[in-house]
Each structure stands twice: as structure tokens, then as C-alpha cells.
Structure 1
Amino acid sequence: MTRFEPGTRIAAPVPLVFGLSLDVDAHTASMARSGERAVAGVTTGTVALGDTVTWRARHFGVVWRMASRITAYDHPTHCVDEQTAGPFHHWWHAHHFTPDGRGGTLMRDEIDFPAPPGPLGRLAERTVPDRYMPRLIRERNEHLRRVAEAGGAPGSGADRG
């Protein structure tokens, strides 16, 4: 099982950052490099407890589909998304939002996933956990930081919450 826990300080209030992190459009914009987009379930706007999203993206030159469901939701401090179908045997991603004491937010992710079985899994164990996946999450979080610190944007979840 691979686990990593990146943290990001964002100079914006917790409810705004929480809303952005659950916004499908903000996620899609943050993953533009891989062409990630929602293709089923909630495909635009904000997800909430019980909602599902099926993502399609290109990683390592391969098109992947991954469906996830919001399995925990405590506005505006915590939510969890878990894979229901896709490339991993298990994918669990908790998002935590706490005030930083200066009017901003500390956004912390906890991500657990095993590599897929077989030769692809062995390759993934050497590249995905240590480099690729943390970089994707850092890019996503940096995008959310920029949007939140600019006050949010229409359709970005900033007005929800």
C-alpha cells in the first residue's frame, strides 16, 4: 500500500477552499495537462456525499477511466473520495481543511492506494507512488491555491458552501 500526505497553505478561507476542492470544473482545470475530464455521474459543479464521478484521462500514454464516490462529507472540514471502478485495487483520498490562524487554510490530503497487479503494477510501484502521483496532487493543489487566492471563479465551487 502506498500512502502520501501532501499539505498546502492557501491564503483563503476554509469554506472557499473546501468548495473548490469538491468542484468538478476546478478539478478538470487543474488536470488539463492529462486531459482529465468527467464523463459520467456529476460532470460539472460541486459534488457532495454519495455523488459519483467517472474521470477519463491520459497518463503514461494510456487512457484511463476511474469512477469515484464521495463517501464522507463534513462541510467545510473534511471529505473522502474512494474509487469504485478503475485502475487501482483500492483508492482512498481524504481531504482535510483547517484554519491556519491567519485567515487562510491548511489543506492536507491523505492518499492510500496499492499498485495494480502484474508487470504494470511493478513498474507503477517504482514510479507512481514516489514521483508521478504526488506531482499530480501538488499540481492540483497549486491550481486550487491560485484560484482560491484570486477569490475563486464562477463554476469553480467558490460560491458554494
Structure 2
Amino acid sequence: MPTIRQELLIHAPIEVCFDLARSIDIHAESTSHTKEKAIAGRTHGLIECGETVTWEAYHFGIKQQLTAQITEMAKPHYFVDEMVRGAFKRFHHTHEFVTVEQGTLMVDTFDYTSPFGGLGKLVDHLFLAKYMTQFLEKRNYYVKKIAEETANSSRSAR
């Protein structure tokens, strides 16, 4: 059961970071390299607790679909999404947001189990854990970029 944990300081208010992280549209933009798009459930806007989204994307050259549900949410401090259907045996993805002096600390924890038992563990070790780490990092840096641009444009508009 690999767990990927990333922390990222974002120079923007917690509410901005929280909403960008749960935005279906921002997620699709940040994962455009996999042609990821929302095809069912919540397909645009801000996902809420109890809602699902089904994503379609290309990973490792294979078109895949994955449905996740928001199972917990405490605005603007955290939300959790969990896989309902998809390529993993299971996953639990916690998005936490903490106000700090410089802005917001975004803490992303992705805990998952690959299918296929021992073979899945080997796949994790050989390449999947690295792939997922880079995938999440790219998405998180995109959220950071948009959040900081939003915060800067709000400050300059004053």
C-alpha cells in the first residue's frame, strides 16, 4: 500500500487554494497531458461532498475511466476523495489546507492499493509509485500557479 505525501507552500489565501483543488475544470487543465476529462457525475465547477466524478484519461497509452467520490469535506480545511470504480484496487486521497504566515500549506496524501496482489506491488516498485508522484506533483504545481496568479491579480486590483 504505497502512500504518497506532498507538501506545497502556496502564496494565496486558503479559500482560493481549497476551491482550486476541488475544481473539476482546473483538474482537467492540470492533467491535459493525459487528455483527462470529466465524463459523468460532476463535470464542471466545484465538486461537493457526496458528489462523484468519472474521469476518462490516457495513462500508459491506454484509455481508462475512474470514478471518485468526495466522502469528507470541511471547507476550507480538507476534503477526501475515494475511488468508487477504476484501475486501482482502492485509493484514499486527502487534500489538506493549513493557513500559514506566507499563505497556505497544501498537504496532499494519496494512499492506494494496486490490483493483482504481488504483481501489483512489483508494478508499484518498478514504476507506478514514481508515475503517480509525478502526476500529483504536476497537478499541485498547476494549482499553486493559478492560486498565486489569482492572489496577485486581486492584490493589484486594490
Offset from partner CA, 1:111-159 (integer Å, 9 cap, x none): 1101121686233442111x1000000000010011000107xxxxxxx
Aligned to 1:158: none
Quick one: structure 1 residues 10 and 128, their matched pair in 2 at CA, closer, same or farther if it must change by over 3 Å?
A: same
Structure with the bigger percentage of strand = 2
Structure-2 residue corresponding to 1:40: 40
The answer to which structure, 1 or 2, has the higher relative contact order (CA under 8 A, 6+ apart) is 1
Q: Which residue of 2 aligns with 1:111?
A: 110
1:14 is aligned to 2:2: no
The Cα RMSD (Å) is 1.4
TM-score normalised by length of structure 1: 0.89
Secondary structure of 1:25's aligned partner: helix
In 2, Cα distance between equivalents of 1:82 and 1:123: 21
Matched with 1:82 is: 82
Q: What's the counterpart of residue 144 of structure 2?
A: 145
Match of 2:132 in 1: 133
Query: Which letter does structure 1 place at the counterpart of 2:85?
Result: A
CA distance in 2, matches of 1:61, 1:123: 16
The TM-score normalised by the length of structure 2 is 0.91
1-structure distance, mates of 2:58, 2:137: 18
- Name which one, 1 or 2, has greater alpha-carbon Rg: 2
> 2:7 and 2:23 mapped to 1: Cα distance?
19
Contact 1:116 1:124 in 2 (8 A): no
* Matched position secondary structure for 1:12: coil
Correspondence for 1:68: 68
Q: For 1:116 and 1:126, how far apart are their aligned partners in 2?
A: 15
Matched with 1:94 is: 94
Displacement after TM superposition at 1:27 (Å)? 0.2
In structure 1, list runs of 5 or more residues that go unmatched: 153-161
Q: What are the Cα deviations for residues 15-71 of structure 1, in whole angstroms up to 9, with x where unaligned?
A: 000000000000000000000110000000000100000000001111110000000
- Tell me the distance in 1 between the aligned counterparts of 2:118 and 2:91: 19
CA distance in 1 between partners of 2:112 and 2:3 (Å): 7
2: CA distance, partners of 1:52 / 1:17? 20
Counterpart secondary structure, 1:5: strand
Number of aligned positions between the proteins: 150
- Give 3-state SS (helix, strand or coil) of 1:134's partner: helix
Alignment partner, residue 59 of structure 1: 59
Aligned partners of 1:115 and 1:125 also within 8 Å = no
